[in-house]
Amino acid sequence: MIPMPRILVTNDDGVRSDGLRALADVLAPLGEVTVVAPLIEASAIGHALTLRRPLRLERFGERTYAVDGTPTDCVNIGVYTVLRGQPDLVVSGINKGWNLGDDVTYSGTVAGALEGALLGIPAIAVSLERTNGDFDFSHVARFAAELAEAVLKRGLPPSTFLNVNAPLGKPKGHKVTVQAKRNHVTSVAEKVDPRGQPYFWIEEGQDDWEPHDHSDYQAVRDGYISVTPLQPDLTNHKALDFVLELPLGTRAGVE
Ligand code: MN
């Protein structure tokens, strides 16, 4: 008998998020799903790892646990403590809000999948367009299950994870994409608090994206689900020669 695949589910919106529950429920027929998610929302926390305080693991329900830390903490505690071994798949989401283009570096949702890839586990991050109304996770959840099934069957190339973003409503289909580039227009508002001290409020960047036919942003704008293969390695191979040719090597005592 083939053992049931083990699937670890996490997110950055927190263990109480209905997006997390929708994802865990839709993956349940594919294997044994274990949820380990942040106790408190940890959006835009990126790939942070908690090293300077203890972490607590709390049982929240059937195969569902909360950690008072980040998505990266959750994946590590999930793998080493809860599952006591590598799962076959890590899935992070469903995030309330896109994680597109350059923004993936800020994303706790994407970082959950990134940590899976770093541990050598196939991983998928899933995000849905933000709305002021109720979130309908049904379409993106079904796609996530189909993709998870395919990845469980076929695996992924080494050091690869998938970043999925979906538009609201019924998608026209899916597209395989590259990361869009945003012209960074993040602004910092400065105000003064009631005690006369300045405080700062970082405004989320406006949507000012460079046009690109095959980008994740273009795909979701056009009504498709976007699937981008990402990798943890940030090395810019095209820049190696440039850096090699920088006039260096005298001041550190290197001959
Ligand atoms: Mn989030």
Question: What does the pLDDT look like over 214-250, one tens digit per residue?
Answer: 999 999 999 999 999 999 999 999 999 999 999 997 7
Cα distances (angstroms) measured from residue 199 to each of 42, 45, 55, 206: 22, 20, 30, 21
CA 94–ligand 1 middle distance (angstroms): 8
CA 10–ligand 1 middle distance (angstroms): 11
Question: What does the pLDDT look like over 80-105, one tens digit per residue?
Answer: 999 999 999 999 999 999 999 999 99
**Domain 6-180+211-252, CATH class in plain words:** alpha beta
CA 244–ligand 1 middle distance (angstroms): 39
pLDDT at 253 over 80: no
CA 44–ligand 1 middle distance (angstroms): 7
Start-to-end Cα distance in the chain: 62
Instruction: State mean pLDDT over 19-29.
Output: 98
CA 237–ligand 1 middle distance (angstroms): 31
CA 150–ligand 1 middle distance (angstroms): 25
CA 12–ligand 1 middle distance (angstroms): 5
Interatomic CA distance for residues 245 and 249, integer angstroms: 11
186-195 exposure pattern, b = at least 16 Cβ within 10 A, e = fewer: eeeeeeeeee
Question: What does the pLDDT look like over 149-197, one tens digit per residue?
Answer: 999 999 999 999 999 999 999 999 999 999 998 776 778 999 999 999 9
